[in-house]
Structures are given as C-alpha cells and as structure tokens.
Chain A
Amino acid sequence: MTKGKIVGLEGSFAVAEAVRMANADVISAYPITPQTHIVERLAEMVADGELDAEFICVESEHSAMSACVGASAAGARVFTCSAGQGLELMHEVLYIPSSMRLPVVAVVANRALSAPLSVWCDHSDAMAIRDIGWIQMFAENNQQAFDLTVCAYRVAEDKEVLFPAMVHLDGFYLSHVIEDMVMPDEEEVVGFIPEYEHPFVLDPDRPVSMGCYGPPFIYSETKKAQEVAFENTKSKILETWKEFGDVFGRHYSPVEKYRMEDARIALLTMGSSGETAMLAVEELREEGKDVGLISLRLWRPFPFKEFRDAVKDVELLVVLDRAISSGMGGPVCSEVKSALYDKRKDLNIVGFIGGLGGRDIPVKGFKYMVNRALEKVKAIERGEEIETEMIGIRE
C-alpha cells in the first residue's frame, strides 16, 4: 500500500519538497557542497511563491542556526541544512535548540572534514555532533530522505518531544543522485504534520526568559531534565514511524534488518552504503555464509533495546565506520561495543574504517570485510588483540 506518484528526483530536491509540504515558516541556511542544492531549491520556491516562508540570508552557518533558534523560540516552524565544515561552524549553536527544547529541523548532506579539503561523503560531520542532544536519523536512499524529513517535523514538534531533529543523507551518493521515488499527495503530508504550538514562545503578552544563566546550583538539574526528556523521545519516534507506515505504506525501524532471520554474521552500516552491503550479503549467502545486514536508522537517541535484539543470535558483528574517532578507532564500532558490554561476551565485534572522503566501497569491499573479520576471529581465539583496520588503503 504505497500511495502517491512515482517521480524521478534528486535527493536534495526530495528534501526541499518535504520542507515545502511541511510549510516551513522560516528557512535560514548557508550554501555548502554537497548540501547547496537543498537551500537553492528552497530559495527558488520562496522566490516563486511556491512556499510562503521567510528566507533569512546569512553570512555563515553559525548565523543560520542562530536565526533558526530565534525563529523557533518565536514559535515558527523552521528549517536549515548544512554539511561538513558548515555543520562544524554551526557546532556551538547546535547545543542551544537541544537544551532550550526548540524543535528545529535540519538536514545534513554528510561530508568529510578538512584537511585535506574534501567535499565528498563520509560521516565525520555527523559523528562530531553526536553528543549534542539532536535526534539523528540516517537515510539510505532518496525516498527515505523525503520520508524522514517529514517524520522529523512530526517528531520534533510533538509536545512530549520538543527536541531538534536532524536527517542525514550521504553527500553526492544521495544529495546529487536522481532516483525514482514515490511522492505522496501533498494533502496527506500536510495532514501528517499538524500545526504545532510550543508551550513557551517569545510573546509580549506572556513574557518568559529563555536560555537563562545557570549557576552551579541549577545547571546539573537542567541537564538531568534534558537527558531524561531526550531518552524519552524514542517512544515518540517509534510511534511516529508506525503512524507514517499506516498512512504512507513505508515502514521504518530504528534498527533495519536485512536477511537477519537466520544470520550468524551481521554487517552493520549507516546511510547509503546499506544498499551496496545488501548485494554483498546476497553474494556471501551464495557462498554459504550466514550473513545478514543491520542498518542503524536512528543514531540518537541510540536504540539500545532494538540493537541488542537485532544481534541476539549473531556470533560475529562486522562494523563499518565512515569516520574516525582519532585515537579510539571508529565511533560507531566503539559505541556498539559499549551497548553490548556485559550483555554479550560471546559476540565477536570487528570494526573497519572505510569510505572516507568519498572513497567508494564496492560490493567486494563488504565481502572483504566479512572474510577478513572471520580471519580476525581466529586471531581473537588465539588470544591476540586486534586493531580497527582501515580498508582500501594503498601501502
């Protein structure tokens, strides 16, 4: 049951279309490759009168997020988008909507961080902001980029959530690729994202102070309140995805599984590389290996329960990181290890780092990871310590 019209659309334009249907009131963003097509398309929509929004032109991403914070505090539905260094320039201000509980929606076209200068995809920018208190969802294709942007508004603005939400789509792999997708009826999208009212807005008739000074006697209490509220957002995210599935016929889970029913080996990826990994799973299955694929759709809040359930029958977990946590290995691998600590002592976890700065990981790359991980398990059994390996590196 998938309703709507099949269209061929670039990932960036699909996101812009979701924002138009969400009828955002205020848009403020600064162009940066590979996100630029999103903001350009939205600027065009506003100029052409297709979207009745205030488009605030700014001189930097720091100002773009600041404008979004102010507009959201005034009760507006807002949007911004960025990538790579732009998201890093925004970094300081990203803490403000999460701690002030403002439902800003942002889309990031994942990009590597300098130096050397790279405009191409990896997940370094997404990982650099994982501790800030934004809901972070990863799209695997353009359809998901559209759907998750629609869901981001519904989740973020829910009275029991009121946290900013970010949708990640891989730069170029999705942002610049034209794929066919189902474009739902606008009325149904509008109906799915109701008008919202924040309990506290900047209003001269009902004055409040926002972002106040928090001396030592109260700062810890504010952080406790924020953290408890953030952990509680997961149930609303699940509820929203369930309702989205009921209306639009596409179902999302925090941990997506592919051929995991009888899998003893699981590959774990995030973002667009999941579709290549699926092909590798098929080929490895033909070779007689019990391989499945896990894709983390929801990165923050981390879906501990769903993740542990997904790997409960797995003996070997092979994790791909498209980012480096310098001096620590891969951030995703170290986090899944911590999620399983004390729960699964029998599970071998082998991490790889690859796909940095736009380096493609072909099907054979995923097959290499699985086969190499099986060798490493033998090393672990011999009592050897194994290191995170960077794949596809020329000596």
Chain B
Amino acid sequence: MGGEKLGWKDLEIGAVVTEPGSASAYKTGDWRSERPVRENEKCIKCGICYIYCPEACIHEDEEGYFESDLYYCKGCGICAHECPRDVIKMVEEVEE
C-alpha cells in the first residue's frame, strides 16, 4: 500500500485501481483534530460506542473493553457523546 509514494508513471491507465479493497489503506485518521481517550475503570462494556461509531473503527478487546483504531478514527466525538458513563474524553491532537 502507500499511495502517497506513487509517482505519475506508476498509475494504471485512467488511474484504475486493480487491487480490490484498497480503500482500507486510506488513513482517515489524518483528518482527526481530537482523539478519544478512555478511562476504562468507568466502562460497563455496553458497546454503545461500538454501535454508534460511523467509521466502524471501534473493536472489542479480549477483556471486553472497546478501543478505537486511530488509523481510521476521524475524531468526530460521537462515541464520547453517546457513552452513558462518560468514559471517553476527546483530547486535542498536538503536533509531535
């Protein structure tokens, strides 16, 4: 993957994409200005954040807690807004 590295001569005719499912390589996490940060001690594992995430980038870990995949998370904050126990805080991203 890594379309960012492609030069104009590397492209297929008409910029056709021949690799199925390649949209998964697109790092929508770049769009984010705030990231979700969790306090799992308050979490009741209800899965509401998982259900509401419009990017479908939240997954359940082995212990039943939920995590956002920051490669895709756009930082919309819907998970933080919907969480019934106020587990998730949106924290501003800063330049590293």
Contacts and interface: CB of A to CB of B under 8 A. Distances in A.
A214 interface: yes
A99 B6 CA distance: 18
Contacts of A338: none
B36 to A, nearest CB: 24
A210 B14 contact: yes
A236 B15 CA distance: 21
A217 B16 contact: no
B4 A217 contact: yes
Contact residues on B (Cβ < 8 Å of other chain), bracket: 10 to 19
Interface stretch (B18-26, B42-50, B71-79): B18-26
A222 B11 contact: yes
A215 interface: yes
A102 to B, nearest CB: 7
Contact residues on A (Cβ < 8 Å of other chain), bracket: 20 to 34
Given A209-B22, A217-B3, A228 B8 contact: yes
Interface in A158-204: 162, 199-200
A209 B9 CA distance: 18
Interface string B36-60: 0000000000000000000000000
A386 to B, nearest CB: 42
Interface of B: 3-4, 6-9, 11-18, 20, 22, 26
A218 interface: yes
B6 A218 contact: yes
Given A218-B15, A225-B9, 10 more contacts: A100-B15, A101-B14, A162-B14, A214-B15, A215-B26, A217-B3, A218-B4, A221-B7, A224-B8, A229-B13
A163 B9 CA distance: 17
Nearest to A229: B13
A200 B7 contact: no
A214 B26 CA distance: 11
A328 interface: no
A212 interface: yes
